Chain A
Amino acid sequence: MNLLTATMQLKWNESLAEFGFIASVIMFMLAIMRMSKVKTARSGNWLAAGAMALAVISQFVEEGQINPVFIIVGIVAGSAIGAYLAWRVQMTQMPEMVALLNGFGGLASMFVGLASYFQFIETGARGTLASLPAVGAFTGVNLMLTVIVGGLTFTGSVIAFLKLSEKIRGVPILLPARHAINVALGLLALGFSALAVWAVSNSVLGVLLLVLVGLLALAMGVTLVLAIGGGDMPVVISLLNSYSGIAGALAGFTIHSPVLIVSGSLVGASGIILTMIMCKAMNRSLANVMFGGFGAAETGEKKKDEYKNVKSCDVEEAALVLADAQSCIVVPGYGMAVAQAQHAVRELSDQLAKRGCTVRYAVHPVAGRMPGHMNVLLAEANVPYDQLFEMDAINSDFKNTDVAIVIGANDVVNPAAKDNKASPLYGMPVLNVEEARSVFVIKRSLGAGFAGVKNELFEKDNVRMLYADGRKACEDLIKALKEA
């Protein structure tokens, strides 16, 4: 619906389309509700897909007599590419895939903004900008904001994609005076936007300003996300997800479509909630994640923290302890994803379960590179989700546990977060692995984690380091257990 024409009597096809839009909005809301519960999540996804199909059909019905060739070509091509990408992607590449898809959504919104601007120029006086001054300014401002938010969502997501797929280094890249650069880019984009709205009747100047705003927005996405480290990507991805929803809502204001406004803001709001959950899990503010340059210490002077009294062991020793264990908690981290060790970890826990040991998994909310990363990987390896426990549900059980196996996790098990006020991690909720009777840390070397902080866990008396590749270590442990 175009609310601007709402005073006029709607044609029959437009009325029909409105009912379709209302139904699809209701379906979207129900879908998001269902997606937040494990039992109903899958049906929720299908409901959302159905709502999307209904919205697209309704849009066709509303447009009535048009030449739809360009729309259909775009839809067919996009659907084919989307289906191909989704079919081909490995489960381990899911974080970067989600980031990339999100980027395409942002770019789509940006192009809607650009196209709307061109439409105003092409239709001349018939456009709403010229005929209705107050509406024109509002529409114009929203149009430019669509371009800005869509553009920075696109490049921000692409940078996140490159960092997650390790095509560029994960450490924060801090430009000198980056805060000043970001503020300047933002102010310039807003200033040129105002000029572009004002200049819409002068097409050459208008388009020039429009392109300039677009380029500034694209640059902003790059500078903002380059400065954020790989370990903070869970926050960044959910925030960018929220942005792409907001860009959609802004596009809705631009073409005056309520269904776009509603669905866009639903996504925007739910993305913000996930973002806040992630920040809370690290006990850091959103501003600190976005602008703090956290983890940059790694790149600076290579100050090596001295480790004292670290005890290592080999696979046979570890297998001996595991063979007698009655209870075991596995703590996975990003390293498990890198080593692609999730299947080996599952087999190891099967082997332990066969010997009468209860195996559970403790999943820290920010373990990995996207919200829920470990859950997806372990699900891929067929670990039943009722063996996965949230930090709060399992943290008090470590002290009654025989063995804790830390595989590829570092900062989320660092006890310094609890008792060392000088540590940058201080205050972050962590897993109490050191309370288990014995702890094995599977790790390739004694290197620092994402935060670049020394891990005091490694110096505890009940902790043994098992230096190996995660997958290899698990496979060797299975072999040793079978012989024991």
Chain B
Amino acid sequence: MNAFILLEIYVFVLACFAGFQLISKVPPTLHTPLMSGSNAISGITILGAMYVAKVSAEAPFGASTIFGMLACALAMINVVGGFAVTERMMRMFKKKD
């Protein structure tokens, strides 16, 4: 067993617990914005897309670059679209003055 993999699994387990704890009680008003906001965060896969889309001495141009570029575009649709629709929804929630 490789020590780094073990470390990654620790990180994963702890992050899952953190995820459960961070959202203890969500009011129903926020179910949709929370979902679309966290949906935008799942576009974090953009980092993986950048990693595979780069061209450098170690990573020559190839099929990986093309798929990486497509992944960059798809992830950014998710990120920008997700945060923008969430902002639009949040703007509507207001109290009666």
Contacts and interface: CB of A to CB of B under 8 A. Distances in A.
B64 A119 contact: yes
5 contacts: A48-B83, A94-B32, A123-B60, A372-B29, A375-B32
Contacts of A386: 95-96
Nearest to B52: A115
A225 interface: no
* The 8 nearest A-B residue pairs measured at CB: A269-B19, A74-B72, A78-B76, A372-B31, A82-B80, A86-B84, A371-B31, A82-B81
B27 A32 contact: no
Nearest to B40: A48
Given A75-B72, A122-B60, A375 B28 contact: yes
Contacts of A371: 28, 31-32, 35
Contact of B68 (A77, A115, A248, A375): A115
B7 A32 contact: no
Q: What is the predominant secondary structure among interface residues of chain B facing chain A?
A: helix
Nearest to A65: B56
Given A82-B78, A112-B49, A112-B52, A269 B20 contact: yes
A364 to B, nearest CB: 9
B39 A98 contact: yes
Interface in B7-24: 7-8, 11-12, 15-20, 22-24
Contact of B41 (A52, A116, A238): A52
Contact of B29 (A270, A274, A385): A385
Interface in A93-127: 94, 97-98, 101-102, 104-105, 107-109, 111-112, 114-116, 118-119, 122-123, 126
Interface string B38-63: 11111111111111111110111011
Given A49-B83, A372-B35, 16 more contacts: A32-B38, A36-B34, A45-B86, A46-B87, A70-B66, A71-B69, A81-B77, A86-B80, A105-B45, A108-B49, A118-B67, A126-B58, A134-B1, A241-B38, A265-B19, A375-B31
Interface in A270-296: 270-274, 277
Interface of B: 1-2, 4-5, 7-8, 11-12, 15-20, 22-56, 58-60, 62-96
A384 interface: yes
B73 A78 contact: yes
Which interface class (under 10, 10 to 19, 20 to 34, 35 or more) fits A? 35 or more
A280 to B, nearest CB: 12
B35 to A, nearest CB: 6
Given A45-B83, A83-B81, A262-B11, A112 B48 contact: yes
B85 to A, nearest CB: 5
Contacts, number: 418
A41 B30 contact: yes
A273 B15 CA distance: 14
A277 B64 CA distance: 40
Interface stretch (A54-62, A431-439, A475-483): A54-62
Interface of A: 3-4, 6, 28-29, 31-33, 35-38, 41-42, 44-46, 48-49, 52, 55-56, 59-60, 63, 65-71, 73-75, 77-79, 81-83, 85-87, 89, 91, 94, 97-98, 101-102, 104-105, 107-109, 111-112, 114-116, 118-119, 122-123, 126, 132, 134-135, 138, 237-238, 241, 244-245, 247-249, 251-274, 277, 363, 365, 370-373, 375-376, 379-380, 382, 384-388, 390
Contact of B92 (A63, A115, A135, A380): A380
Contacts of B60: 122-123
Contact of A36 (B26, B36, B85, B89): B26
Contacts of B43: 52, 105, 108, 248
Contact of A70 (B28, B48, B68): B68
Given A98-B36, A118-B67, A123 B58 contact: yes
Contacts of A63: 50-51, 54, 56
B44 A264 contact: yes
Contacts of A59: 46-47, 50-51
A83 B64 CA distance: 26
Contact of A248 (B16, B42, B66, B77): B42
A458 B5 CA distance: 60
Contacts of A37: 27, 30
A241 B75 CA distance: 14
Contact of B71 (A38, A73, A111, A135): A111
B52 to A, nearest CB: 4
Contact of A255 (B5, B19, B20, B48): B48
Contacts of B20: 269-270, 272-273
B80 A78 contact: yes
A257 B49 CA distance: 12
Nearest to A51: B41
